[in-house]
């Protein structure tokens, strides 16, 4: 008579045969729908603000014209064919290709690891939004409009600011993540008290073997 086939129970922390233990359970860090929506909202906000400010500057100030605000800060209409802060201004085609590759890499990274840290939608949203806005201007016009001029620093725009802020948030989050496990490890392993070189069990056996005193 054949015995009924036993159905194996698969538990968390074990292999598919329910027998081989696993050292740790694998966790997916893929971005969720909510994180994608947060990334898209932040990127879209960065694009809208950047494009609106560029349109206002181009419509009210002639090229090279500026309005002094306070101290070294001046709003000046400048055209830049390079990347942030006027770098690589003579390599527009190369800048477009590199920027497009960087945006694609960031999207692929977020799809794979968007749930690793709660600030990733904010940080990458700012970087991607700023990059897309400047890339659209380079493809459409061949240059971007810069207008934030601090005299001792090359002029830049809102998109450049979003990129720098996003990278700063990302680096700060990575540094804090690296420091947290060490502090938690120190708190989780308190120092054990060191006992003297006595051996109570041995002394106890010696006392038991001694004859009783009359």
The stretch 138-160 carries a mean pLDDT of: 91
Q: 109 pLDDT exceeds 80?
A: yes
User: For the segment 175-209, what is each residue's pLDDT rounded down to a tens digit?
Assistant: 887 775 554 545 555 555 555 555 555 545 545 55
Reported confidence tier of residue 87, pLDDT bands at 50, 70, 90: low
Q: Find the distance separating the first CA and the last CA of the chain, reported in whole Å.
A: 76
The stretch 46-74 carries a mean pLDDT of: 95
* pLDDT of the residue at 175: 86
* pLDDT of the residue at 121: 94
Within-domain flag for 193: no
Within-domain flag for 3: no
Q: Per the residue annotation, which of 137, 160, 207, 208 is the catalytic one?
A: 160
* pLDDT of the residue at 36: 96
Q: 56 pLDDT exceeds 80?
A: yes
Task: Tell me how many domains the chain contains.
Answer: 1
Distance, in Å, from the CA atom of 177 to the CA atom of 188, rounded to the nearest integer, reads 17
Within-domain flag for 9: no
Q: What percent of the chain has pLDDT over 70?
A: 66
Surface-to-core class of residue 211, CB atoms within 10 Å of its CB (0-12 exposed, 13-18 middle, 19+ buried): exposed
* pLDDT of the residue at 10: 45
Within-domain flag for 24: no
Q: Is 207 a catalytic residue?
A: no
* pLDDT of the residue at 99: 87
**Which has the closest alpha carbon to 138: 157, 110, 112?**
157
DSSP code string of 86-114:
GTTTT-HHHHHHHHHHHHHHHHHHHHHHT
* Secondary structure class of 167 (helix, strand, coil): helix
* pLDDT of the residue at 53: 97
Within-domain flag for 23: no
Q: Is 17 a catalytic residue?
A: no
Within-domain flag for 212: no
* pLDDT of the residue at 137: 92
Q: What range does the domain containing 80 cover?
A: 33-184
Contacts of 56 (CB under 8 A, 6+ apart): none
Distance, in Å, from the CA atom of 188 to the CA atom of 190, rounded to the nearest integer, reads 6
Q: Per the residue annotation, which of 50, 137, 146, 149 is the catalytic one?
A: 146
Residue 14's region, left for phi above 0, alpha for psi from -120 to 50, else beta, is: beta
């Amino acid at each position: 008579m054949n015995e009924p086939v036993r159905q194996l129970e698969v538990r968390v922390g074990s292999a598919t045969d329910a027998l081989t233990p696993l050292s740790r359970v694998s966790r997916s860090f893929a971005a969720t729908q909510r994180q994608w929506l947060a990334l898209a909202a932040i990127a879209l906000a960065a694009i809208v603000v950047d494009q609106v400010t560029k349109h206002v500057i181009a419509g009210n100030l002639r090229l090279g014209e500026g309005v002094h605000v306070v101290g070294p800060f001046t709003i000046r209409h400048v055209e830049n064919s390079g990347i942030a802060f006027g770098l690589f201004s003579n390599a527009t085609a190369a800048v477009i290709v590199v920027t497009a590759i960087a945006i694609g890499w960031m999207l692929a990274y977020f799809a794979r690891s968007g749930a690793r840290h709660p600030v990733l939608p904010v940080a990458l949203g700012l970087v991607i939004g700023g990059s897309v806005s400047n890339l659209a201007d380079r493809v459409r016009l061949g240059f971007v409009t810069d207008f934030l001029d601090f005299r001792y620093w090359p002029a830049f725009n809102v998109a450049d600011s979003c990129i720098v802020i996003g990278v700063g948030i990302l680096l700060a989050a990575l540094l804090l993540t690296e420091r947290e496990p060490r502090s938690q490890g120190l708190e989780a392993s308190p120092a054990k008290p060191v006992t003297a070189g006595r051996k109570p069990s041995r002394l106890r056996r010696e006392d038991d073997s001694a004859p009783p005193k009359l």
